[in-house]
């Protein structure tokens, strides 16, 4: 276990998920524009939290797409400056900018032209979107309340980590070992994943209550798998 309770990923369990910060960003850079286009063209139900979960595979898709909707905010920061989220040399500035940026409640944002502020604004917008989706899905408010307060505490811990001597080389060594140092990308990705999971669980609960007996049993089994999963890829459903 790492300092934040993170560990290296089990390659067999996560083979369908991108690994490493650059891989995550490159995957998102491809998938976000396509998802936005599909939503704009009406090729899918948007937001994902409004969909009906009728089979286990729908759970994985709902979780993954909800997280994608939140991540789209940072992915549209101009000039691909979202890449700084994975840059060890930029972490102190990113973390400081986030802590200095006043929180907002918007899910439609305007960029300021200041890179660090724009990234912080986008991170807040992603959390706002997830909170909005949680309400629409009927998620347990106890599981999603206090989200920004919790995230801010993680950012402060990460700020302290990066202030220690040798943080840069230590980060690069952790990445080489397949571990997850406290990059801003991992902080955001982990919390967005957790919140998107709560939303998927609420959608699944809603469907279980409305389903016929046979299908409800299959969906209940899907709930057990969802509870044990850390990432949509863990569900192993194709």
- pLDDT tens-digit readout, 184-230: 999 999 999 999 999 999 999 988 888 665 577 888 888 899 999 99
Domain that includes residue 48, residue range: 21-235
Q: Which residue from 157, 147, 92, 96 is spatially nearest to 124, judged by alpha carbons? A: 147
pLDDT digits (tens, 9 = 90+) for 41-79: 999 999 999 999 888 789 999 999 999 999 999 999 999
Q: Is residue 4, in this structure, part of any structural domain at all?
A: no
Residue 93, exposed/middle/buried by CB under 10 A (0-12, 13-18, 19+)?
A: middle
Residue 54 token pair? 């009728």
Number of domains in the chain: 1
The per-residue pLDDT for 183 is 98
The per-residue pLDDT for 16 is 53
Q: Is residue 9, in this structure, part of any structural domain at all?
A: no
Mean pLDDT, rounded, of the chain: 89
The per-residue pLDDT for 6 is 39
Given a cut of 80, whether residue 236 has pLDDT beyond it is: no
pTM, full prediction: 0.88
Q: Is residue 12, in this structure, part of any structural domain at all?
A: no
Q: Is residue 85, in this structure, part of any structural domain at all?
A: yes
Q: Is residue 206, in this structure, part of any structural domain at all?
A: yes
Q: Is residue 1, in this structure, part of any structural domain at all?
A: no
Q: Degrees (nearest 5) of the Cα angle 177, 150, 226?
A: 65
Q: Is residue 169, in this structure, part of any structural domain at all?
A: yes
Q: Can you tell me whether residue 52 is helix, strand or coil?
A: coil
- Going by C-beta distance under 8 Å and a sequence separation of 6 or more, which residues neighbour residue 20? 175, 178
Residue with tokens 């960003």: 25
Burial 169-182 (b: 16+ CB within 10 A, else e): eebeebbeeeebbb
Q: Is residue 152, in this structure, part of any structural domain at all?
A: yes
Neighbours of 139 (CB within 10 A): 23
Residue 158 contacts residue 91 (beta carbons within 8 Å):
yes
């Amino acid at each position: 276990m790492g300092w934040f309770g993170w560990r290296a990923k089990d390659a067999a369990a996560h083979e369908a998920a991108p690994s490493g910060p650059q891989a995550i960003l490159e995957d998102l850079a491809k998938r976000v524009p396509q998802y936005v286009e599909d939503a704009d063209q009406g090729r899918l139900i948007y937001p994902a939290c409004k969909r009906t979960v009728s089979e286990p595979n729908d759970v994985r898709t709902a979780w993954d797409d909800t997280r994608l909707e939140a991540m789209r905010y940072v992915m549209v920061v101009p000039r691909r400056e979202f890449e700084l989220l994975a840059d060890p040399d930029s972490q102190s500035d990113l973390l400081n900018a986030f802590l200095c940026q006043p929180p907002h409640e918007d899910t439609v944002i305007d960029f300021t032209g200041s890179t660090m502020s724009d990234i912080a604004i986008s991170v807040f917008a992603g959390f706002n979107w997830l909170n909005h989706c949680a309400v629409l899905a009927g998620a347990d408010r106890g599981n999603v309340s206090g989200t920004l307060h919790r995230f801010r505490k993680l950012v402060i811990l990460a700020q302290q980590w990066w202030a220690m001597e040798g943080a840069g080389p230590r980060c690069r060594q952790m990445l080489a070992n397949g571990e997850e140092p406290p990059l801003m990308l991992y902080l955001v990705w982990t919390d967005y994943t957790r919140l998107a999971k709560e939303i998927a669980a609420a959608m699944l609960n809603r469907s279980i209550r409305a389903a016929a007996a046979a299908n409800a049993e299959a969906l209940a089994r899907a709930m057990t798998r969802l509870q044990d999963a850390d990432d949509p890829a863990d569900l192993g459903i194709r």
